[in-house]
Structure 1
């Protein structure tokens, strides 16, 4: 109750601004600035600073509210924005040059701009030689334009510090009313901590999370209200120190955030970390430094837009922490932890994960994952016996509890955070103890948003579900076989086939075409090669190769440039997927709203998939066709439909046999020790990147490549000793190594269990896509080819000794060998059961597609 009183007292803090409405206005303005990045650096920035000092501030000082609202020129408003975010310096400068603090009263933002004409007329009368709108074509760096009566504050540096802020708060849910309401409440809690520190004469550097920092910025942008509110609260204007950006361990931001987290949670008994409020990583590198001037107006949807339908799935981000446990039986021995999962199958999160308990482990661990806002989160308290007990003994379950997700999101969002005690239901028997075991669980969510659409191109219909637990993608051995486009649930949405052209009556030779078969059974030509470019959807779109930085261009109702590699929002973050960039292409839309480009889709050429942004439905069909054409033709060295100007490195990456399955992004959960802090410069909170218990992203010494996206459990290493290649995308369990000793190639996409090695000793090729179980080797000794795509069970070898060809795509059971001794051909696509051999000794041909029994 004492802690609740503290929170209630914090919420009594008064501000003279409607912070929610003002925060939304700030987000609109920052988005406009980000579309005009010439304000971030260079001569235009220097000229904007001159105009701000020489024109805008003097005009603002002379203006009377009775004369009507003022609208600052856009460039001046940006400099004014950055100046006000140093509230102490801004106040000092205003009082020095104008005798009073210049406020926003009577000023309307330029992005609203309904009354610019009056201000423009006034500007012209006062400054006839200086245009109201900054003319970028005539901007030159004019060092002689320095003023005597202007601030000595380094506004160039201030702008550079503020420029990255928008990326951190630019996601659509940030403007949600409930998210902002909680942000305002947390901002008041932040001010309350500062007030308590001053009362106790404690000098502490308090570091905000990004939701708090957004509201803090919003408050500072109203200088008179901010100064009055803070002087009333703490007796002075609160400084906003945004000069520190080093998030290294032990640095000012790191220790400041740790101390702020500890003080917050001790004072309020609420979690400081919050979903959607943590550091997103550094701002992605731009694909161009010059805005794209040409704008194509988006057209109304056409019937072709409805040829295929992709399920609409909502997603929320979740931060989860297990705080403490109580009422453990007397005499209990063992290490306690919590296994959590979802009760309802989820296309985004369908696994069990483990977290330590803060009160038991003494160190903070936070789980971050994405899931659909349906069903329940299920928690199981487990006890692991002391080390003297054999390791093989299963952990003991002490009970279960659940937390409904739907109550937070249906019928409408009312809160995005909860911290509560959950009583456990015993694993056996009924609950009779008057003091049941309970868990204190803290969960926060982001408001639901549309999940990106992910579609896979496969070479066989997804009809294997009854045979195994993993969707199998088989390699094509027939040049004219169809490619089936399936969604994440393995539901077919369309099938595509590339025709080589044919001769019809009258000796007319058809051009190369892409034929599509719809869900209805209708067959039609969806794309045709004209000899210069590909015409898509009855000429509504065109796909052509260019000779500039980007490699291809998709033109139609929008302008979409296709860049090699992962760009913008698809740029790898933290320990994210680190496969070679030549496997990827990013589709970037250029428009009036996005002159520097907006990433709208990612093509994975190696594994045959396309991920499209949730709001870009217009791109799904032309994107699929582009992905299919590029995937089919580029791997043939740029011929048959494009000039041979494709990069050699990319061509090499597309020489894989057939289309492989897209590895699912396993970056669902991780845990972070308290050493990895989320901190903020002007609130730049460090990554809620989550590291596992006793695990490491790159394991043993010698891991010089990229570890990829990993979800890791206890005592696991992302890259084993000596792994010099890429470990790919792995989900790993106990005592596992992503790449076994000596694995010099790519281990591919693996899901691995206990005591498994991704590549067996001596495996020098690619192990392909494997799901592996206990004591299994992806490539047996001497396997020098590709093992293909395998799902493997206990004590199985993907390629038997002496197998020099390709084993194909196999589902294997216990004690089975994919290729028997002497099998030099392809074993084909097999489903195999216990003690079976796919190809008997001496089988030199193709065994075909087999389903095998015991």
Structure 2
């Protein structure tokens, strides 16, 4: 804001007349709109028609009497239905003034009138009403009986304005403004200042003789509405400012590009920012999209305002409470650049200085004055720490180079003394030789919503009993589900609770008693959560019971003055707003809570049965929803009672035995970006509550589910599915390939994905390869080339690989954690059905966090069913770098003579090196060692060597020779070398060339299947060249087949 712009802003604040306290009145308006929204029968239908008749024939005549001479001591209370019609009538001020003067020769003002939502003292007003209109109740309710009232023909015919259409246009306004941010007084004070600036623009255009359609943001529009609700004051203020009453045109609703509303908003933005030097786009006041489709048109009626605590006496699950803010960030300008730096080559990278549940590696922002486009970034983040802005310069033949950086504390935006927005110059701390005098400075505009509680996202992980019988006898199908546990995992591998159904016979009867028990991870306390009685489940320690529903929902969970219904698909707050093309809707179940405050329902939780994720918006409903989701999945998985069509019913189950070890066969990360606004991968439409898109029209930057399926290819095709460059969270797509040879598919982030690729976790992908006769096929899951740091950063990166090869050898699949995976990361199952020399590896890739060690259940189940082959290998356990207790691999052998097997650390291994496994199927005198090779540093091992050859071959797994310096302690070369050849082959698994940074780690598999006569082949696994810094600590998760 330069001097001239500052003068205009001051003129707007001082010179635009507003004769009412709009901030306090706006809060009252929001309270009133919420009350109307609880009575949606006033939006349409016969009760709306009746309310309009009551307004014309009862309220306006009564108001006319009261404005002449008070009819009650104190303010006159207006019935809520009449107030709603009066509200919509006043929002066309020109029409309202015309109608009032026609009927009553003056403007009927709101002085000395009180809303029914603001007072409980209605006795006098109700008494006067009943005296004047004895056949008409004072309050019109949903259950009110229809009566024929005497209608004052003059009062009704004197108003020609279409009030039904006016009500329809205003019925969605509360959805746009009924947010916590709009209720914040600091935000409303700034909204009033922006409203004055908006009126100043209209005055400027009028003085220049320009006819311009100015479009307000929703904070400005809230203030404009509030001003109009004081009709006499509004009229006086507008006559003083403009010489006429400013009309409020709310008839345009088409937001399509190029239409009146779109063009008007773009022009308003440009004029506002050029006039005052402040940004018009702002967090918390932009269009939120269409209202979600309702689940019912019939409100639930409750006797009391507040129901009993739905989770009374429930245990504290010790889940970390996370808050977040919507942030809008724009780099407006830059100055004092060194002369040698072209301004057009400069851009800004933004990131956080500490870990964040919503963003990991930040992203890129262009500078508005350089590009000529009004672009910014809308994102979610925790309101803690600092934003780091780094100015970068693109160089033709070199990597982008930083010039300097500046940090901005988020407390400046979200703290109690903040205004939730600022725009200012920030001086950079120079980097390298780029110091200038004066220093380089950025013009930064930032705004934020008030902090809100983030929804909690959990993954369901089933741990099933493992029997040697099922391992040694592939056709052993004894049902073991009754002995299994289901763990609920939060925050990248943190277990909160585990659940199990137990069954025992009742004494002296043949009946079986079933109950659902849970064990808290933090305290080891056992809870009885539900029991099965009278062919239905009842939740214990609460007044809730589960039963069938008959109104379109699948189930009902009832409590005192509260009702929760389960609906198939994503509903209300979870609804995809862009289109109806989402297949994931069929696998979703939404819990909708009905209370006196939300008679039409509020979505409080979601279960995705396909991904086995649950999301919960209210802490009080966390444990009940965990319980209900488990019962839902348990019934559905047994193929009998499907909760989509019927209640949870009892199913027979056979208790498992011979429990030797636990293998986790299902996992999915709790995705951070589940709470974030997203973009539809089907139609590319952005959606999400209060989504702020960066820039207008084609320059929107959005994040979310971009993945789509790709299936194609005959020879030499390369396909990439997922996010294009710059895409944010939830990158992972599905790639399905049914091709012949030399096809390469990459799933995940396409090349050039920014740091946001990792923020959601869930980079893991499903790959299915069905090949016939080809060789050299490669499938890669995770981030494609060029992915920035932070591609991992979350549990549940594991992949499910399923390969069915008919006649080939040497197929290799790898499943495990991507880079940076946290504790509890593995949990992968690899199943193969091929003939010879198939090797599978499951578990944590290198760089798995500390949770991988300590016996932390990293083991994966590997099952191979072969026909006549040799050298079959199974491996379970952690990859490289696993801590103490991580090993515990399983050895299964089927060979003839003199075989020696060793699992664990080889000689010379450093602490925590173990977990290796060696399996051989050969004839004579073979010696194998698993673990660290000689000279390996601590934590390096967990190598595996498998051989199926004839004589005198020695292999070592661990750090191969030639590992770069970064391969040192903790590098974790969980490489696997498989050989099926004759002689002179050397394989090394470990770190690649110098491009790998320290701790880079490789959860890699090498499979070499060569023919007679080929010699001297060497394979090396590790980080490919060009992996960014974030690639470290577990870059793996790829499979190489040569």
Cα distance in 2 between the residues matched to 1:96 and 1:111: 30
1:285-322 CA distances to partner (integer Å, 9 max, x unpaired)?
A: 11001111245752258773234232222211101111
Following superposition, the deviation at residue 757 of structure 1 comes to 12
Following superposition, the deviation at residue 751 of structure 1 comes to 5.0
Tell whether the 8 Å contact from 1:545 to 1:642 is kept in structure 2 after alignment. Answer: no
Following superposition, the deviation at residue 257 of structure 1 comes to 0.2
Cα distance in 2 between the residues matched to 1:823 and 1:27: 71
Q: Note the 1:142-221 alignment, pairs <5 A.
A: 147-149=153-155, 150-221=158-229
When normalised by structure 1's length, the TM-score is 0.81
Tell whether the 8 Å contact from 2:747 to 2:784 is kept in structure 1 after alignment. Answer: no
Cα distance in 2 between the residues matched to 1:184 and 1:41: 32
Q: Note the 1:113-512 alignment, pairs <5 A.
A: 113-134=119-140, 136-137=142-143, 147-149=153-155, 150-295=158-303, 297-299=306-308, 304-333=313-342, 335-386=345-396, 389=397, 393-410=398-415, 412-428=416-432, 432-459=435-462, 480-499=483-502, 501-503=503-505, 506=508, 509-512=511-514
Following superposition, the deviation at residue 569 of structure 1 comes to 1.2
1:594-645 CA distances to partner (integer Å, 9 max, x unpaired)?
A: 11111111222222232222xx322111111111111222233343999868
Tell whether the 8 Å contact from 2:129 to 2:138 is kept in structure 1 after alignment. Answer: yes
Cα distance in 2 between the residues matched to 1:693 and 1:154: 34
Cα distance in 2 between the residues matched to 1:696 and 1:801: 44
Select the structure of larger CA radius of gyration: 2
Following superposition, the deviation at residue 414 of structure 1 comes to 2.5
Following superposition, the deviation at residue 579 of structure 1 comes to 4.6
Q: How many residues align?
A: 775
Tell whether the 8 Å contact from 1:173 to 1:446 is kept in structure 2 after alignment. Answer: yes
Cα distance in 2 between the residues matched to 1:226 and 1:119: 27
Q: 1:758 to 1:448 in 2, by over 3 A?
A: closer
> Is 1:622 the equivalent of 2:624?
yes
Following superposition, the deviation at residue 553 of structure 1 comes to 1.4
Q: 1:762 to 1:848 in 2, by over 3 A?
A: closer
Q: Which residue of 2 aligns with 1:561?
A: 565
Q: 1:41 to 1:487 in 2, by over 3 A?
A: same
Tell whether the 8 Å contact from 1:734 to 1:754 is kept in structure 2 after alignment. Answer: yes
Following superposition, the deviation at residue 826 of structure 1 comes to 9.9
Match of 2:704 among 704, 709, 720: 709
1:560-601 CA distances to partner (integer Å, 9 max, x unpaired)?
A: 111111111111134899452122111111122111111111
1:101-139 CA distances to partner (integer Å, 9 max, x unpaired)?
A: 000001100112333221222222222333323365566
Q: Note the 1:808-827 alignment, pairs <5 A.
A: 809-811=815-817, 822=835, 827=840
Q: Which residue of 1 aligns with 2:49?
A: 46
Q: Which residue of 2 aligns with 1:571?
A: 575
1:626-673 CA distances to partner (integer Å, 9 max, x unpaired)?
A: 111112222333439998689xxxxxxxxx97453344427858999x
Q: Which residue of 1 aligns with 2:1012?
A: none
Q: Which residue of 1 aligns with 2:1000?
A: none
Cα distance in 1 between the residues matched to 2:576 and 2:738: 23
Tell whether the 8 Å contact from 1:799 to 1:819 is kept in structure 2 after alignment. Answer: yes
Q: Which residue of 2 aligns with 1:602?
A: 606
Cα distance in 2 between the residues matched to 1:491 and 1:757: 18
When normalised by structure 2's length, the TM-score is 0.67
Cα distance in 2 between the residues matched to 1:167 and 1:511: 47
Tell whether the 8 Å contact from 1:671 to 1:690 is kept in structure 2 after alignment. Answer: no
Question: Gapped runs of 5+ residues in structure 1?
Answer: 462-475, 647-655, 679-684, 698-706, 712-716, 777-787
Q: Which has the higher contact order (CA 8 A, sep 6+)?
A: 1
Following superposition, the deviation at residue 233 of structure 1 comes to 1.2
Tell whether the 8 Å contact from 1:790 to 1:798 is kept in structure 2 after alignment. Answer: no
SS of 2:195 mapped into structure 1: helix
Cα distance in 1 between the residues matched to 2:8 and 2:462: 61
Cα distance in 1 between the residues matched to 2:871 and 2:303: 61
Following superposition, the deviation at residue 763 of structure 1 comes to 6.7
Tell whether the 8 Å contact from 1:377 to 1:403 is kept in structure 2 after alignment. Answer: yes
Stretch of structure 1 that moved more, 39-48 or 142-151: 142-151
Tell whether the 8 Å contact from 1:554 to 1:560 is kept in structure 2 after alignment. Answer: yes
Q: Which residue of 2 aligns with 1:15?
A: 18
Q: Which residue of 2 aligns with 1:634?
A: 636
Following superposition, the deviation at residue 146 of structure 1 comes to 8.3
Q: Which residue of 2 aligns with 1:108?
A: 114
1:200-246 CA distances to partner (integer Å, 9 max, x unpaired)?
A: 11111110000110111011001011111111111111100000000
Following superposition, the deviation at residue 822 of structure 1 comes to 4.4
Q: 1:761 to 1:452 in 2, by over 3 A?
A: closer
Q: 1:402 to 1:289 in 2, by over 3 A?
A: same
Following superposition, the deviation at residue 48 of structure 1 comes to 0.9
1:701-745 CA distances to partner (integer Å, 9 max, x unpaired)?
A: xxxxxx99347xxxxx9777989xxx9996554799976897699
> Is 1:584 the equivalent of 2:588?
yes
SS of 2:357 mapped into structure 1: coil
Cα distance in 1 between the residues matched to 2:614 and 2:303: 25
Q: 1:638 to 1:3 in 2, by over 3 A?
A: farther
Following superposition, the deviation at residue 339 of structure 1 comes to 1.2
Q: 1:760 to 1:455 in 2, by over 3 A?
A: closer
Following superposition, the deviation at residue 338 of structure 1 comes to 1.3
Q: 1:110 to 1:234 in 2, by over 3 A?
A: same
Tell whether the 8 Å contact from 1:47 to 1:142 is kept in structure 2 after alignment. Answer: no
> Is 1:70 the equivalent of 2:76?
yes
SS of 2:460 mapped into structure 1: strand
1:454-477 CA distances to partner (integer Å, 9 max, x unpaired)?
A: 23322469xxxxxxxxxxxxxx99
Following superposition, the deviation at residue 175 of structure 1 comes to 0.8
Cα distance in 2 between the residues matched to 1:823 and 1:178: 70
Q: 1:379 to 1:159 in 2, by over 3 A?
A: same
SS of 1:29 mapped into structure 2: helix
Cα distance in 2 between the residues matched to 1:798 and 1:132: 69
> Is 1:551 the equivalent of 2:551?
no
Q: 1:135 to 1:562 in 2, by over 3 A?
A: closer
Question: Gapped runs of 5+ residues in structure 2?
Answer: 465-478, 649-663, 714-718, 740-744, 754-762, 772-777, 788-794, 821-828, 848-860, 880-941, 943-973, 976-1042
Cα distance in 2 between the residues matched to 1:512 and 1:303: 23
Cα distance in 2 between the residues matched to 1:739 and 1:666: 16
1:334-358 CA distances to partner (integer Å, 9 max, x unpaired)?
A: 6322111111111122222112111
Alpha-carbon RMSD: 4.5
Cα distance in 1 between the residues matched to 2:698 and 2:871: 47
Q: Which residue of 1 aligns with 2:515?
A: 513
Q: Which residue of 1 aligns with 2:530?
A: 527
Cα distance in 2 between the residues matched to 1:307 and 1:621: 9
SS of 1:601 mapped into structure 2: strand
1:750-790 CA distances to partner (integer Å, 9 max, x unpaired)?
A: 455559997879679xx9995234399xxxxxxxxxxx975
Q: 1:693 to 1:384 in 2, by over 3 A?
A: farther
Q: 1:85 to 1:352 in 2, by over 3 A?
A: same
SS of 1:103 mapped into structure 2: coil
